[in-house]
Amino acid sequence: MRRPFIAGNWKMNLVVRDAIRLAEEVCECVGSIPDRDVAICPTFVSISAVAAALNDSPIRVGGQDCSQWNDGAYTGDVSATILRSAGAKYVILGHSERRHVMGESDAVVHAKMGKARAAGLKPILCVGETLDERQAGNTLAVVERQLRKGLEGLTHEDLAETTVAYEPVWAIGTGEVATPEQAQEVHAAIRTWLKELGGPIGEDIRIQYGGSVKPDNVGGLAAMPDIDGALVGGAALTADSFSTIVGFGAG
Ligand code: 13P
């Protein structure tokens, strides 16, 4: 039985003071839902402050990216080790905005996965096709390539600490959510590949869905057998909507 995992990706939003305030509100609203994991991912600059604000709440902090290199002369980068030292437990890697806006290749994402694991961070590996790729019938080929390259060389122990997030690029920030059936089709394929790579561990790896997840559509998505939670963008920016998404199906 996989424990649902809901993470909020705050992207490049919220000055430090507002990030602390939102973290406190999320803490209060989410409270004590014992049967799921929750994380929030602020900008690098707010990680320490948000980790302090969450104090001993069960909500964890994650980064939105980390460097592909170890510590050293890489101006502007943040290594996985530094991220961990600031209080992060998770790190989002291969988000489509990094792949498509910043031009990150599969090889770069793969290097980052290795650094994250070496630093003891739990990676959330994002995969997903663009609209053009979907319309050309290439969805599964694209997702399989991103997944296999991202996970290449990871041990079974590393895989057990990894989450996969399926985020169709056409559904991110557009309000156009994948239907539960569309998402499930891809999640089921991801599950098959994870089992090929990790044997029985593949059955336990959580696969989040991301892309216009809102309080009113999360229930349908979460009812699908291979959808184990959500990676939430816009709706994670208010405590109300995020906590409703976190609480889907609870009580
Ligand atoms: P939206 O929920 O705003 O579509 O963003 C999804 C996302 O990119 C989460 O990583």
* Mean pLDDT, range 228-237, rounded to an integer: 98
Tell me, using a 6 A CB cutoff, whether residue 234 lines ligand 1.
yes
More confidently predicted of 16 and 178: 16
> Which residue's entry shows tokens 């920030």?
173
What is the 210 CA–ligand 1 centroid distance (Å)? 6
CA 213 to chain centre: 13
Is pLDDT above 60 for 251?
A: no
Alpha-carbon gap, residue 212 to 180, rounded angstroms:
12
Contacts of 103 (CB under 8 A, 6+ apart): none
Is pLDDT above 60 for 250?
A: no
Helix (H) or strand (E) holding 245: helix 239-246
**Any idea where the domains of the chain sit in the sequence?**
5-247
What SS3 class is residue 40?
Answer: strand
- Residue of 41, 12, 82, 47 lying closest to 165 (CA atoms): 41
Determine which residue's CA is closest to atom 2 belonging to ligand 1.
Answer: 233
* Mean pLDDT, range 197-226, rounded to an integer: 97
Per-residue buried b or exposed e for 99-122, using 16+ beta carbons within 10 Å of the residue's own CB? beeeebebebbbbbbbbbbebebb
Q: What topology does CATH give the domain 5-247? A: TIM Barrel (3.20.20)
pLDDT tens digits along 70-110: 999 999 999 999 999 999 999 999 999 999 999 999 999 99
The percent of residues above 90 in pLDDT, for the chain, comes to 93
- Of 38-42, 54-58, 228-232, the poorest mean pLDDT is in 54-58
What is the 177 CA–ligand 1 centroid distance (Å)? 10
Confidence class for position 249, pLDDT limits 50, 70, 90? low
To test ligand 1's pocket by mutation, which of 177, 218, 231, 244 has the most ligand atoms within 8 angstroms of CB? 231
Alpha-carbon gap, residue 20 to 50, rounded angstroms:
5
Phi, psi of 82, rounded to the nearest 5 degrees: -65, -40
What is the 135 CA–ligand 1 centroid distance (Å)? 21
